[in-house]
Chain A
Amino acid sequence: MSNLLSVENLTMKFGGLTAIDDLSFDAKHNQITSIIGPNGAGKTTVFNCLTGFYKPTNGQMFLHKDDSKISLRKYTDFKIAYVAKVARTFQNIRLFPAMSVLENLLVAQHNELMVASGYSLFGLLNLKTYRDKEQLAVDKAKYWLDIIGLTHRADDNAGDLPYGDQRKLEIVRAMCIEPRLLCLDEPAAGLNPKESAELNKLLKFIKTEKQTGILLIEHDMSVVMGISDHVVVLNYGKKIFEGTADQTKNSKEVIEAYLGVDE
């Protein structure tokens, strides 16, 4: 299996604080790579570097596409999602609460629709080419809503959905940009066991059917152990362990990091 993402010697410093210290790891195509670690280990900072919200102090991040590789450092801001096709979700859900579920999914397809609407010109003239493209976008949204079972709520405000559904909606919204790499920041936070199981199913579906690599930050070990192909463990910004889920479970370093060392 070939690499999808390689992070090389990533370092991020905030003043005197080193949040990430010389971190290197790879994530492969069609795999779920989990990043775990105690609170404050620097997991979300890794995500923020990858998705262009922070500019890392040092190090490189490459996204492999066919035989070429593109450096994520070059892209900032919205271009990470637009050009490099790296999508992300957030620890605290960031939907557009006052917009409908369907609209949320259409905003994710903004760039294609913008071109289709001739930068609004064709749209204002209500040309058929635009209306057809818009219908395609709605169909795509419907496809994803069917998968998470929210089609019947498509016209309700996203903010009115139950918490678990909002989580799922945020994930499929990110999928609507057709990402190569999907970064999920604690998708199972606040979910009940039934919802966590549904989430596992959704992530497995994305992995196998959509051929999208997934990078996952998670505290819920039932999710991590259930679906991860590869686990990277961070503590104080450093990688302390890397391996399969089973190896991680039995690793001495990981247990020490989480539970402390016997005196």
Chain B
Amino acid sequence: MEKKDIIQSFKDSLFTGLIALALFGPIVGLRTASKGEGLFITPQWGIVFLLVGLCILGRFLINLNSARKTEITFFSKFTSKFSAITEDKAKHFAITAILFAVVFPFLPFTDRYFMDVAIMILTYIMLGWGLNIVVGLAGLLDLGYVAFYAVGAYSYALIATTFGWSFWICLPLAGVFAAFFGILLGFPVLRLRGDYLAIVTLGFGEIIRIILINWYEVTNGPDGITGIPRPSFFGLPFKRSPDEGETSFHLFFNLEYSTMHRIIFLYYLILVLALITNYFTLKIRKLPVGRAWEALREDEIACKSLGVNPTNTKLTAFAIGAMFGGFAGSFFATRQAFISPESFTFIESAIIVAIVVLGGMGSQTGVVLASIFLIGITEMFRDLEQYRMIAFGGAMVLIMVFKPKGILANRKPTILMHGDKK
């Protein structure tokens, strides 16, 4: 390497340090502390200089590295591992993953905490798969997907608490309601694409949340809905002491009562729901409507010139995507037994979109990997409390740096003329 390069790298890293100083200076350097009768600022310049120094050093190393035109072995190992997971291998991965998911509750190290995290990840996988229809296939960037999740959750909660119908009746109803809202959103945004569509859908998500907060008579406002019935195992509730004339799950199967039964049941419930979503998406992708979605994503004007009705095609994408969001919402409501508008903020939409985009638009396996990666990493750093979102951001940055097109960006044709050559 030439001397000029080193000087250039050094200059560049000093500039990085300057930016880091501007950022860390006020954020980390000035700390407010309350002492006695007011707030005082305690400077923490030591940490600032440490952080800035780290940034300069890191940037310098990266620069040196790229000047040498070779990658640091650690990074190249990391990326090659990820690029090794192509769609071809994805099938084996999928089968292994499903088998693992099925036996997961009975593995020796699985405890209550792991189960909760797994249920959460599965919920996000299902939402990711649902949104993948809208964003990945139809190419309609929907930043308000959480609205359908909320509609599903509230539909389930309201129907179940008002009429006392069972989970298995309320679930499809919640899906239908959510699909209806999907069409409702679909109509006004038919003409919009890209950024404009994203803004309107974002607004729609907020509208739903604000209605939930303010429509006190129906939604109980910010207090939320409590006492949402838990699902039963084909009529057998998960209760320690069942009501008169009822048999509960543990009595029927002659088991010791354990709260884990219900958790395991919920786990399998969301697993099945998610797999149904996946199966449905994989199927419909190969049907004319699925191909029309993808064609619409590629070129709307060409679609029109071929006689494809863009209105119907978009609306079905919105409706079906919303329906799966609604199913996931019902599950969320029955798992928590309590819902409030707070659970349906914009950050949820952002996380789901991040999962779809980072997973590789349109890739089903990518959604799984991105969910595990993003949610799992954020969970791993739970001890950091409010700083754990840094881990979330860090995970996003890592994916964007190493896989800018998403973890799995390969698209496989929906139909082959010459069969599978590879």
Contact = CB atoms under 8 A, between A and B. Distances in A.
Interface string B302-317: 1111111110000000
B417 A155 contact: yes
Interface in A129-180: 134, 138, 141-142, 151-152, 154-155, 173-174, 176-177
Interface residues of A, number: 48
A211 B166 CA distance: 62
Interface string B281-296: 0011011110110110
Given A113-B288, A155-B413, A94 B307 contact: no
Contacts of B303: 78, 107
Interface in A77-117: 77-82, 87-90, 94-100, 102-104, 106-108, 110-111, 113-114, 116-117
Given A96-B294, A96-B295, A99-B294, A107 B306 contact: yes
A82 B307 CA distance: 4
A228 interface: no
Contact of B307 (A106, A111, A123): A111
B415 A110 contact: no
A145 to B, nearest CB: 8
B208 to A, nearest CB: 27
A110 B308 CA distance: 7
Task: Identify the interface centre among A107, A123, A138, A174: most chain B CB within 10 Å of its CB.
Answer: A107
B418 A154 contact: yes
A34 B303 CA distance: 25
A97 B307 contact: no
A120 B280 CA distance: 11
The 3 closest A-B pairs by CB, nearest first: A81-B307, A82-B307, A96-B298
Interface of B: 280, 283-284, 286-289, 291-292, 294-295, 298-299, 301-310, 411, 413-418, 421
29 contacts: A53-B304, A77-B310, A78-B306, A79-B307, A80-B305, A94-B302, A94-B305, A95-B299, A96-B298, A98-B411, A99-B294, A99-B295, A102-B417, A103-B295, A103-B414, A103-B415, A110-B292, A117-B287, A117-B289, A119-B289, A120-B287, A120-B289, A123-B283, A124-B280, A138-B415, A155-B417, A155-B421, A173-B306, A177-B306
